[in-house]
Structure 1
Amino acid sequence: MPVITAATAKAHQFDGATWKSFVSPSRGSSELVAWRAEIPAGAPTSPHRVNHEEVVYVLRGRLRLEHDGSAEIAEAGDVVVVPADTDVHITNPGDETAETWVTTRVGFAGIMPDGSRFEPPWVK
């Protein structure tokens, strides 16, 4: 059972945020992927449709989640379950960087508004 340290997490920059890959096939996982996201206030995040269920745990700050025509706020300590095949747009309405831990399964991808499929490098 390997320990994946914070120092060995691979950082990726996308949509004005930092995505740190901890668990993925390239790191030895065959079923799950997990990452930590740091989303600055006002980061230009992209709306997308998720192909697999994902669990978002808010570690710090607050997030605004728009999904299926509604919007909710999640704060530090809250957990959001995003169902598969859901349109979602996550933004940071706060004044500080929000941090999250996200877990989903191998093969996760986002379908962008233009119909293109985005497979984040932090899940490979």
Structure 2
Amino acid sequence: MPITKSAAAPTFQLPGTIFTGLASPKRGSTSNAVWHVRIAPGTQGAPHRLSHEEIFVCLEGRGTAQVGEQIHELEQGDTLIVPPDTDLALTNAGTKDFCAVAVFPVGGQAILPGQAAFTPPWAE
């Protein structure tokens, strides 16, 4: 049974956001990729789409998710389910970090406006 020890979990950074890979094909998973996301206060989310459903479980802080045309306020304990092929942007307008765990099927891809679909490195 594969295990990812926290000290060995890879991290990936975008401006204001840190992704920590927990499970993925490179870490022994065959069905789902799982990661921890930490969004710093004042970070505006980058709009993107996903080829498959993505699930976020909010662990701490407060965030705002724009899913399609709808705005959702998120706080500790909330779960957000994002349908495939729907615009998504996660923002932290608060004063504390927003943290969540995300689950995404292996083989799923992200699509940024004007770019080719790709597998996020934390999900590989």
Q: TM-score, normalised by structure 2?
A: 0.93
Aligned to 1:52: 52
Structure 1: unaligned runs, 5 residues or longer: none
Paired residue secondary structure (1:122): helix
Q: Which residue of 2 aligns with 1:116?
A: 116
Aligned to 2:25: 25
Equivalent pairs: percent with the same residue?
34
Segments of 4+ moved more than 3 angstroms: none
| Structure with the higher fraction of residues in strand conformation | 1
| Separation in 2, partners of 1:3, 1:36 | 15
The structural deviation recorded for 1:120 is 1.1
1:117 partner SS? coil
Match of 2:65 in 1: 65
| Amino acid corresponding to residue 92 of structure 2 in structure 1 | N
Distance 1:70 1:51 in 2: 19
Q: Is the 8 A contact 2:2 2:28 kept in 1?
A: no
Deviations 1:27-72 (A, max 9, x none): 1111110000110011243100111101100101011011221111
Q: 1:93, CA displacement in angstroms?
A: 1.6
CA distance in 2, matches of 1:68, 1:47: 10
Normalised TM-score (structure 1): 0.93
CA shift digits 1:82-112 (9 cap, x unpaired)? 1111111111121111111001110122111
Are 1:19 and 1:36, in contact at CA under 8 Å, matched by a contact in 2?
Answer: yes
Change (3 A) 1:87 1:117: same
The 8 Å contact of residues 19 and 37 in structure 1, kept in 2 or not, is answered as yes
1:15: how far off?
3.4
